[in-house]
Amino acid sequence: MSKYSEEVMEKVRQRLGVDENDTTLDLDIAGMHQSTVFAHCLEWEGVIGYDQVIRRWIEDIYGVELNEED
């Protein structure tokens, strides 16, 4: 079982330059900090450089604290 959903894994794989179904980097991805995975997903979708802003909005709007720790 992966730490992240298949949809997230596919985005990060592609962001790292491999095919969405290529699982060779999955252990590396699973070891990434959640903030890094979040940033990779946003960047794959074309939202570059806004990961911290979006994290703050989530915290401010939804009251969900997104810790930087694993």
Rounded CA separation 65/46 (Å): 24
35-58 per-position pLDDT tens digit: 999 999 999 999 999 999 999 999
Arithmetic mean of pLDDT, 54-67: 93
Global confidence as pTM:
0.88
Containing 33, the helix (H) or strand (E) segment is none
Q: How confident is the model at residue 2 (pLDDT cuts 50, 70, 90)?
A: confident
The CA–CA distances, whole Å, from 12 to 29, 35, 36, 63 equal 7, 12, 10, 26
